[in-house]
Chain A
Amino acid sequence: MNFVSSKSWPWPVLRAGSSDYERCEFQVEVDAESQERSTEVTFVADFDLSDEAILQLIESGRASYAMLVSCPSTHFRKLIPSRTPSIEWVAENGLLGDKVEVKAYVIATETVEEFVSRNWHEDYEGRTYSLSPGSVLAMEPPDVFWIRPSEELTPESVFRTSYNEEQPPNEWRCSISGDKVTIVFSREDYDRFREARRRADVSGTKAYIMNSVYLPALAWVLAEADKGPSEDYEEFRWYSALQEALARCELRAIGDGDENDRLEDAQKILNDPFGELPFLAVEEATQQ
């Protein structure tokens, strides 16, 4: 069940962007704390609900707070219900990875006859509703977390290389329509690039590759992905890896705002790789 604020429900549902309820609120703060070098995560959801009618249902055991945790990569889904407005749940190492979505609800757990709230919009005046178990009474937009044991973003986790006979020599391009961003070269350039990358660790030329290919590629990918819509990309691994890297550097998420300087962001994500180049130049000059 996706959060769509404009969705029509057969009964009033307390949620952001809807006028079903007035003069009351439902807010949930969800936090996720990961263990270093592990995918063990502790989720904590703190609920703030002020509608008396829904609070009474929870009090009488006919409704509950609930946190739904789901993870496409590991095929995981679990609902954690609670009678108290704070839920803590620990996902053991290995259960979750990459994109994890947490949704917060208040749900009817038993049949509720003639439900009514005095906070309903006046359009509902004089009405009551009969709710069956599982009916949503309040919901929040989902929180998304990116879970990975590693702290680093490596080019290998986002990019792959390929060649195309029609690609002109000395030019390369990126494709973002797959699980990884594909950097497409001409056949000859592809072989040259792979050879250069293979030697990079030994010869200390990694920073040149980072600055000349991966940095501009990353800036382009971020700018292109910003154009959205996000549904086109969010199942891809490059997307989750970049969202996680942006969050770690406290930069705007993909699609969030339209005045992002993605060239600057790409440099931050890659730990300012230009700073590595002068040292190499000095070393080379010294060796000559």
Chain B
Amino acid sequence: MSVVIYYTMEAVDELRDGIGSRVEWYLSGGPEAISLTSPRPTRETRITMGGLASVLKTRGRSPGKHDGDNALVVYRALDQLTPYQASDERLWTYLAHNECAGYIARRWLNGGDDARLIDRVRNHFFVNGNRGLIRDNGVSRLWWLGHIAHNVVPEDPGRFLQVVLYRQDPRSALIERPSVSRNYRVLRCVYNAMEKDFRTRERRLFERDIFRDWMKRLNRQGGMRLIDALSDTQLEGMVLEQADKALGD
């Protein structure tokens, strides 16, 4: 076990300003520690954490398929963080530039458009706002995925991730858009319906048009009613009713 370390804001700014001059370092996955001119660029906390570098997976042509497993690994290694601590860009920027630099380079910098390389570094090695925290930073997005999974389906977070990450549309709608992902009770009901459908051969709820129609219908319900106020039974009934309508049954 080691302790959680974070950069000072001055160090984060120095790194952000120096992306262009360190492209090779990013591409090669951070072979050595970056030397910063900022005095005392890091701070240690008393929070302990497990190792990450050797356990994050990227094998195969689609490294994104390991996101579920990696999310559980990151969340468990850093399970002492509070949500407030986990919203701090200094912490995620430190992990991205140290222990997890190799993972992020393999996951996000392999292939793709070279002209957008600096944008990809900025998105995945740094944190840009709340959206960037949940969606883009190579490590924080995994922690938040794990956090949501552990809160929504505490008895089987792995299954939650397997189902929700099966297609890009559900992932974008359920995790990356705060209107649903912040509402764990609604998310639980949506997951229940999807998990049941996931066990069928057709998996119709995962079809792009059907899933989008279902989400639109749920959003419409939330426009006139505060669905947080529904009991579990009422909420489950409403989510299933809208799923049936989207399926055209």
Contacts and interface: CB of A to CB of B under 8 A. Distances in A.
Contacts of A94: 82-85
Nearest to B89: A179
Contact of B87 (A93, A97, A163, A197): A97
Given A10-B224, A163-B17, A134 B229 contact: yes
B178 A95 contact: no
B13 A161 contact: yes
Contacts of B53: none
Given A75-B178, A75-B181, A76-B182, A135 B224 contact: yes
Given A10-B224, A76-B83, A107 B229 contact: yes
Given A107-B229, A157-B9, A77 B182 contact: yes
Nearest to A73: B87
B229 A95 contact: no
* Highest count of chain B CB atoms <10 Å: which of A79, A96, A109, A190: A79
Interface string A24-64: 00000000000000010000000000000000000000001
Nearest to B148: A75
Interface string B216-249: 0000001111111111001000000000000000
B130 interface: yes
Nearest to B234: A133
A95 B84 contact: yes
Nearest to B17: A162
A104 B104 CA distance: 43
B226 A1 contact: yes
Main SS of chain B's interface residues?
Answer: helix
A133 B228 CA distance: 10
Interface in A142-173: 156-157, 160-163
Chain A interface size, as a band, is 35 or more
* Highest count of chain A CB atoms <10 Å: which of B84, B181, B183: B84
B158 to A, nearest CB: 20
A76 B37 CA distance: 37
B60 interface: no
B39 A198 contact: yes
A235 B130 contact: yes
Contacts of B13: 160-162
Contacts of A136: 224-226
Interface of B: 8-10, 12-14, 16-17, 37-39, 82-87, 89, 127-131, 134, 144, 147-148, 178, 181-184, 222-231, 234
17 contacts: A9-B224, A68-B226, A72-B178, A73-B87, A74-B83, A93-B82, A94-B83, A94-B85, A97-B87, A133-B229, A133-B230, A134-B227, A135-B225, A160-B13, A162-B16, A179-B128, A194-B14
